[in-house]
Structure 1
């Protein structure tokens, strides 16, 4: 009886191990279907079909980004289908689903929200379509690359310049961008780390990267904190709204972006400084990354776009 039991247990152990092995093999084969493991079929630039979804075309920064993509596409005979997500994450995910259905060769996306975009990125991954994030990243899924300026550094530079303008321990406010947007998170991180122990951040409120909301939010801030000496706006649009709210008060304003309207305001003196990005260059770099991918080249995980501080003395 004891021998029989041992035999039974031995047979069960073998069967169990075999089932585990088969299950493991099955998992490996499913994983091997990932598009990142397949060999790239080379394509000429004119044959690369591009789909692009931008968070909003109401913001001049992203209009300029689109112009960068369009310029390079025109030079190379590339067809680009562009969608405006109108700051709506659900709409943007639907747009990317549409591009997946249309079987484009690459998707360039500027996410409304870095968390909300994840399912759409994964859907493109499953379809074997490379995804390039521009200006803002994705917090999940697999990206071919993220093309953006160093937002943490930009926030730090803005903080350093605001410190220089308002002096040690001055009270300041921060206008934050769209909640969840990677650029907003990183810019805020860089700014707040820099000013800790140097400036008194009395409040930070979201104005959703929008000029009109920048105005109304800044008005509310001034009602509660009429003794602030400086404002950090995470983009030019909010800074331009803040300018209207501040009017003639001696409050220094520093932002990040480098849009035509923002740079004109620096030249005029209504915005004191901008850590300027190059949105057209970001667009050009994004499309070039797509070309390089279909040329069989290795793509860097992150492609940095240049930034520099613009003041009234250096504005052109």
Structure 2
């Protein structure tokens, strides 16, 4: 297991290195230059420290290589609203043909995406979409459905009178808020016997989740389940209880379907996740931006699927990651 996990983290680190400026002096990663007659597209990534965001940035670059008339530049928002907004403004000033934004905080980025539209540049928001911006398109997943498939499974899996902890994404983030709503409606409202003994915003971040989980196991001698709005936070919480006999049967739920989560499910450590495929998101983003740039479509709002992954089907997804070189064969 340790050997395989190292290969996953190395893959993420390679993406992180790219996003911090390997390949150009201005802190971007570029696909191969497709020539003066092609389209220039800027992708503003949320953060390199988020394993899913790093995976998506890598897949966006791979997907762009399939288009002879698109050059993609990737910028790192560093999980900082000011830095992400500055990157958007710089892309507008640089007169890109299209700008795809992965928001750190949708409401903080909303006025800047509105500036993209006002400048006459093709605008797409992705992972998570920002609703209600006239003239902007979106490529996303349904975050309510992503959490609901886990919550519905947990109805039968979580024991009676269980004590659970909850790890949330950033407040105001569409995916974070909708996933928490799903857990409330699909699980907590139907299981009033379950007690939440700890709940915090960990901002999709593993290290923050570790800190909260360390506090929770000190103040609670019983925690039956970790309910997390993404895999990265769930993995952090699981690191804290690893090898502790009193938590050997703890359940854990996430969203994203990262390579690390696949290995945790395969090992029997994590219970389930919902795949938010960066591969599918990237392909759909490039397909969408190409249709908008060529005038084939004027407005596109579309979602990828939300399949549940557990011990019964995890082998298929481990193979997917092995085939893409993100898990060592």
Q: Is this a same-fold pair by TM over 0.5?
A: yes
Counterpart for residue 66 of structure 2: 75
Aligned length: 273
Secondary structure in 1 aligned to 2:167? strand
Q: Any idea what the Cα deviations from partners look like across 1:71-116, whole Å, max 9, x if unmatched? A: 2211213211111111000000000000000110111110000110
Secondary structure in 2 aligned to 1:204? strand
Secondary structure in 2 aligned to 1:115? helix
Counterpart for residue 228 of structure 2: 233
2:163 corresponds to which of 165, 171, 176 = 171
**Bigger mean CA deviation after superposition, 197-206 or 74-83:** 197-206
CA shift in 2, pair 1:174/1:46, >3 Å: farther
CA–CA separation in structure 2 for the residues paired with 1:63 and 1:82: 11
If you compute each CA radius of gyration, which structure gives the higher value, 1 or 2?
1
CA–CA separation in structure 1 for the residues paired with 2:142 and 2:110: 21
> What's the offset of the Cα at 1:68?
2.5
Secondary structure in 2 aligned to 1:95? helix
Structure 1 residue 206 and structure 2 residue 201: aligned? yes
Counterpart for residue 152 of structure 1: 144
CA–CA separation in structure 1 for the residues paired with 2:162 and 2:135: 41
Secondary structure in 1 aligned to 2:149? helix
Structure 2's unaligned 5+ residue stretches are 1-34, 316-329
2:39 corresponds to which of 29, 36, 48 = 48
**Bigger mean CA deviation after superposition, 217-226 or 171-180:** 217-226
Counterpart for residue 219 of structure 1: 214
Counterpart for residue 129 of structure 2: 137
The answer to whether the 8 A contact 1:66-1:280 is kept is: no
CA–CA separation in structure 2 for the residues paired with 1:56 and 1:266: 25
CA–CA separation in structure 1 for the residues paired with 2:101 and 2:108: 12
**Bigger mean CA deviation after superposition, 141-150 or 257-266:** 141-150
Secondary structure in 2 aligned to 1:132? strand
The answer to whether the 8 A contact 2:288-2:300 is kept is: no
CA–CA separation in structure 1 for the residues paired with 2:174 and 2:36: 30
> Taking structure 1 as the reference length, what is the TM-score of the superposition?
0.81
Structure 1 residue 99 and structure 2 residue 94: aligned? no
> What's the offset of the Cα at 1:180?
1.9
Q: Pairwise CA RMSD of aligned residues?
A: 2.0
> What's the offset of the Cα at 1:295?
2.7
> Taking structure 2 as the reference length, what is the TM-score of the superposition?
0.78
The answer to whether the 8 A contact 1:169-1:197 is kept is: no
Structure 1 residue 58 and structure 2 residue 49: aligned? yes
The answer to whether the 8 A contact 1:132-1:144 is kept is: yes
Counterpart for residue 120 of structure 2: 128
CA–CA separation in structure 1 for the residues paired with 2:74 and 2:292: 20
CA shift in 2, pair 1:290/1:87, >3 Å: same
CA–CA separation in structure 2 for the residues paired with 1:95 and 1:173: 36
Task: Show the 5 A alignment for 1:285-296.
Answer: 285-296=284-295
CA–CA separation in structure 2 for the residues paired with 1:88 and 1:283: 22
CA–CA separation in structure 2 for the residues paired with 1:299 and 1:144: 9
Secondary structure in 2 aligned to 1:257? coil
The answer to whether the 8 A contact 1:263-1:315 is kept is: yes
Counterpart for residue 111 of structure 1: 103
> What's the offset of the Cα at 1:222?
2.5
> What's the offset of the Cα at 1:45?
12
Secondary structure in 1 aligned to 2:65? helix
Structure 1's unaligned 5+ residue stretches are 1-43
CA–CA separation in structure 1 for the residues paired with 2:51 and 2:259: 8
